[in-house]
Amino acid sequence: MFKILHTLFIFSSFIYAQPQSHSFTINNETREYYLYTPDSLGPGVPLLFVLHGYTGSAASIMNYSNLNQIADENGFVVCYPDGMIDDSGNQFWNVGYDFHPDETVDDVEFLSALAKFLQQEYGLSNYNTFSTGMSNGGEMSYMLACQASDIFRGIASVAGIMFESFYNSCEPSAIPVLEIHGTQDDVNWWDGDPNNEGGWGPYIGIEEGIDYWININNCTQTNTSTLLDIFPSDNSSVVIEKHFNGINNNEVWLYKVLNGGHDWPGESGNMDINAGEEVWSFFSQFLVIADKGDINFDDSVNIFDMLLISDNILNNERYNYLADYNEDQNVNVFDILSMRLNILSY
């Protein structure tokens, strides 16, 4: 694990610990989102996207997920985007539902563009950007893992599934994956629905999906444990499977909620765990932490980092907060000059 360089620089945008409503325009569509930024955060902190379920909203999942409080306690920024509205008047993420044959919105493009904008606008970590979501939001997170794993470096799905429409064409990098799912989920079935009996579209079972990510990450070891059933009145219990020793030390976790339903644990259904806390506990295992300027992660800021920043500038690569040495939300020749002066001063 790399050491972290704490800085006293505070962004003026981070002075109010209240969620702020914003808009973002892409492909002539104006999209809405909430951004929650805890007090006194410096640059390079993690960014977590939290995606609502079908018929839900950014405001609703912000209220029940408890992730604003968790962000306060752990120092990260939370983005709650809203999906588009379908012909039935419901907000959704376009993951290929069978009853959405004419929906053309590209939510992978939207969420990826929004992530890159927020990373640059607020100097957030492009190495520590993650996505989680409930149901349709979990499915969208899986789609991001399949199609935008260069931007979203880990995902956590709560009661979500992988539809065959994007599973069959999935081309991910190895990234950490968490699934929290009830065995009696009556919306997204544990064993999958290959024949589309439920009407959402064909999708694979939970264990098949976990096996897929185990293989992608080449995890070679497994640990299984059963949590203490501290709330027997909820008629459910939790078995945790952790698959580890994978590529880049990645892990794949499955929280199997025995007799659990289509719920966000801790808010409804199983009360032995709090899904929001478990999600961040998972992501926090895989944070990439390095000093400003240490582009190649060798625990030293030197000429090799300057050369990599030069390549970043010449190739017009997307914003990298580690390369923004003078912290002006731009990567340019002035960052190289600042690094040179700092190196020569030693």
| Of the candidate ranges 156-170, 171-185, 287-301, the one whose mean pLDDT is the lowest | 287-301
Taking CA atoms, 12 is separated from 17, 20, 39, 89, 126, in Å, by 12, 14, 10, 37, 20
Of residues 41 and 136, more confidently modeled: 136
Q: Which residue has the tokens 């939290």?
A: 50
Confidence of residue 33 (pLDDT cuts 50, 70, 90): very high
Q: Which of 21, 23, 25 is nearest to 35 (CA)?
A: 21
- 305 falls in which pLDDT band (50, 70, 90)? confident
Query: What's the one-letter identity of residue 203?
Result: Y
Mean pLDDT of 238-259: 97
* Tokens found for residue 10: 């505070």
> Has residue 299 got a pLDDT over 90?
no
CATH, range 12-286: 3.40.50.1820
Task: Retrieve residue 334's tokens.
Answer: 């002035």
Please state which of the ranges 162-166, 188-192, 208-212, 289-293 shows the lowest mean pLDDT: 289-293
Q: How many CA atoms lie within 13 A of 64 on its CB side?
A: 19
The percent of residues above 70 in pLDDT, for the chain, comes to 93
Mean pLDDT (whole number) for 214-240: 98
**Judging by DSSP bridges, how do beta strands 77-81 and 155-158 pair with one another?**
unpaired
Q: Between helices 67-74 and 58-65, what is the axis angle to 10°?
A: 60
* Closest C-alpha among 285, 260, 284, 254 to residue 272: 260
DSSP 26: E
pLDDT digits (tens, 9 = 90+) for 65-117: 999 999 999 999 999 999 999 999 999 999 999 999 999 999 999 999 999 99
- Side-chain half-sphere exposure of 223, counting CA atoms within 13 A: 6
Average pLDDT over every residue of 138-163 = 98
What is the maximal distance between C-alpha atoms in the chain?
A: 68
AA identity, residue 262? H
Q: Where in the chain is the domain with CATH 3.40.50.1820?
A: 12-286
Work out the average pLDDT over 145-164: 97
